[in-house]
Structures are given as structure tokens and as C-alpha cells.
Structure 1
């Protein structure tokens, strides 16, 4: 019997070791797997490379992981916003490495990893500092930059509902990078609001098939209220 569910967050995140590369879902706080991140902090794993859209908000979630000095490098699109003071302080002190990736390129580099694409050419970033050291090519009169896929050892993502096979559906904007991150990681770990019985999820509504998910743990809604971003129609 296939059963990918875990009874505890500690069990779900077990095996994440020092030096691991992790994809972390979330667009700001929308879809951020905060409880999984708390569980990761509790493991004591250090020298992590994090791939995410942002570099943390306030003192919770990804920002808490940075504050605990567990991250060696972060690859993201938006490292700075009004409440990114944890990242700001670490970066200014030279305590964290940063790779900035335009958001479209970030999504495509993750998708490429999950789809088995070796690399791709993108016009975004050509002629800027972001293209330094990368191969460039002219295609049909336009300049492109060669971008490499972003693979990871683990993905930490948040979904709305899942079943014991790992099939997932998401809640509105909280979906964001979750589906492609699940595909790009060797081990996708998912926190869901609710684990439902097999057959309860409409196959037409399943966004991430269970073949891309290795671990699922239930974290009820009450543990992390839905943000305004998640509630948008």
C-alpha cells in the first residue's frame, strides 16, 4: 500500500542534512511552508542553499531560518522588501551569499530541472551583470543568455489538500511555485491543510500528481491563518 503521509513535521523533514539544497515555496507569505521550515530549523541542518522567490519576511518562515544562521546561500528574485531586515543585516555583514535571478528565469530554471531540460536560452538579463560569465548567443537577430536548471535535494512546499498517494490541490495564489518545485527536487515534502481519502480529490482538479511527491504531513488551517494574498479570487 502506498502511503506517503507522515504523522509529524519532524518525521517529514528527517534526513535533511548539512549542505543540502532546498527549494522553498511561497510568494512572500502566500504559500510559505512555515511549519516545515520550523521543523527544518529544529533539525539543526546548516550551510543550506535555499532557492525561493523571496529572502524572507519579518521573523517567521524563511526569515527565521536565515536568522538561525542556517543558510549559506540564497537564490531568489526579490531579496529585499519592506520587512526583509533579517536578510539585509546578514548580507551587509557578509554572512550570506546571494544569487539574484529574474523571476521568469527562476521559474523556468526550476521547471527545466523538473522536466529534464539540460539548459535553455533566455533574453532576460542579456547585457547586464546577471549575464556575466554565462554563454550568450544570437538567435534570429536577438541576443540570449544560457541559463542552467535549478535542481534541489529537497523541496518544502505548501498545498491545500492532499491524499496518501501525494496528489495535491492548492489554494489560489498559494499555489505559486509549488508544482514546479515538487518536480525539480529529489524529495518533495509537502504540508497540507487536510489529508483526504483516496478518490476524494477530483482528478481534473489535481495540480501536482503524487508521482512528484514523497512526503505529506497535515498542518490544519488553525496553525497558520490564510493571508490576504492566498484569499484573493
Structure 2
């Protein structure tokens, strides 16, 4: 019987290695799998590359992972948001590498990884410092930049509900980045607020099929982080 639910945070994060590339879902504070991120701190993996839309805020979740010194390199679109003081301190002091990627390009690089597309051309960023060292090509009347697919060793995502096969649904803005990260990693771990029986989820609402999910941690809504 297929059952991808795991009994604990430690079980969910078992096997994450030093130097891994970790895809972290969410859109700002919304849809970010804070429980899994906090668990990663306890798990101990270090020298990580983290791919996320932003660099965390305050003292929780991704910001706390950065503060713990576990992240060597950050790939994101919006590193500076209100409350991102930990990122700013680490970056200014040279303790954190940063690759800045336009938001749409970041999403497409992740989607390409999950779809088996090795690279693609985009006009975004052409002629700016963001594309220094990258291949460019004139196609028609516009300049385009070659961007490579962005694969992860592990994806930490958050969803609204899941069944034991790993089928996932999302709610509102929490859907941002989580679905494109799920297929882009070798190991995908989902933190979910609600569990469902097989057949209870409306097939029309399932965004991430279970084939892309390896482990599920049920974190009930009444105790989940806001």
C-alpha cells in the first residue's frame, strides 16, 4: 500500500546531505514550509544552496536557516523585502553568495527542470548586468538570453491538502512556486495542513500529482504557522 505520510519532521528530512540544493516554496511568507525549514536546522545539513523567491523575513523559517549559517548560496528574485535584515547582514559581510534571477525567469527555470527542458531563451534581462557571462542570441528583432533549467536535490513545499498517494491541492497565493518546484527536485517533501482519503480530493483541484511527491508531513491547520 502506497502511503507517503511520514511520522515526524526528522523522518521527512532524513537523508538531506551537506551541499545539497534545496528548493523552498512559497511567495514571501505565504506558502512557505516553515516547519520543514526549521526541521532542516535541527537535521544539521550545511553548505546548502537555497532556491527561493525571497530571502526570508524576521527570525523564522528561511531567515532562521540563513542565521544558523547553513546556507552558502542563495538563488532568488527578491532578497530584500521588509524584515530581511538577516540576509542583508550576511550578504554585506560576504558570508552569503547571491544569484539574482528575475521572478518569471526563476519560475520558468524551475518549470523547465521538471519538464525535462535543459535550457531556453528569454528576452528578460537582455542587455543588463544580470546576464553577464551568459550566452545571448539575436532572434528576429530582439536579443535573448540562454537560461538553464534549475534542478534541486530536495524541494520543501507547502500544500493545503494531500492524500496518501501524494496528490496535492493548494490554497490561494500559497500555490505560487510550490507546484513548479515539486517536479524539479530528486526528493520532494510536502508539508500539508489537511489529509484526505483516496478519492476525496476532486481531481479538478489536484495541482501536483502524487508522482512528483516523495514524502508528506501532516501539520494540522489549527497548529500551523500563520
After TM superposition, is the score higher than 0.5? yes
In structure 1, list runs of 5 or more residues that go unmatched: 227-233
Q: What's the offset of the Cα at 1:108?
A: 0.3
Matched, 1:24 2:20: no
Aligned to 2:83: 83
Aligned to 1:154: 154
Q: What's the offset of the Cα at 1:59?
A: 0.6
Aligned to 1:229: none
Aligned with 2:130: secondary structure? helix
Deviation by residue 1:10-67 (Cα, 9 ceiling, x = unmatched):
1001111100001000111000100000111001110000000001111101001001
Moved over 4 A (4+): none
Matched, 1:188 2:188: yes
Aligned to 1:223: 223
Q: What's the offset of the Cα at 1:82?
A: 1.6
Q: For residues 60 and 179 of structure 2, what CA distance do their matches in structure 1 show?
A: 23
Aligned to 1:10: 10
Aligned to 2:203: 203
Q: What's the offset of the Cα at 1:225?
A: 4.3
Aligned with 2:110: secondary structure? helix
Q: For residues 208 and 123 of structure 1, what CA distance do their matches in structure 2 show?
A: 29
The alignment's TM-score, normalised by the length of structure 1, stands at 0.96
The 8 Å contact of residues 48 and 70 in structure 2, kept in 1 or not, is answered as yes
Aligned with 1:6: secondary structure? coil
Q: For residues 86 and 151 of structure 1, what CA distance do their matches in structure 2 show?
A: 26
CA RMSD of aligned residues (A): 0.7
Q: What's the offset of the Cα at 1:224?
A: 2.6
The 8 Å contact of residues 34 and 225 in structure 2, kept in 1 or not, is answered as no
Deviation by residue 1:89-109 (Cα, 9 ceiling, x = unmatched):
000110000000000000000
Aligned to 2:117: 117
Aligned with 1:153: secondary structure? strand
The alignment's TM-score, normalised by the length of structure 2, stands at 0.99
Q: For residues 29 and 149 of structure 1, what CA distance do their matches in structure 2 show?
A: 25
Aligned to 2:35: 35
Q: For residues 73 and 17 of structure 1, what CA distance do their matches in structure 2 show?
A: 15
Aligned to 1:137: 137
Q: What's the offset of the Cα at 1:222?
A: 2.4
Q: For residues 96 and 116 of structure 2, what CA distance do their matches in structure 1 show?
A: 30
Q: For residues 151 and 199 of structure 1, what CA distance do their matches in structure 2 show?
A: 31
In structure 2, list runs of 5 or more residues that go unmatched: none
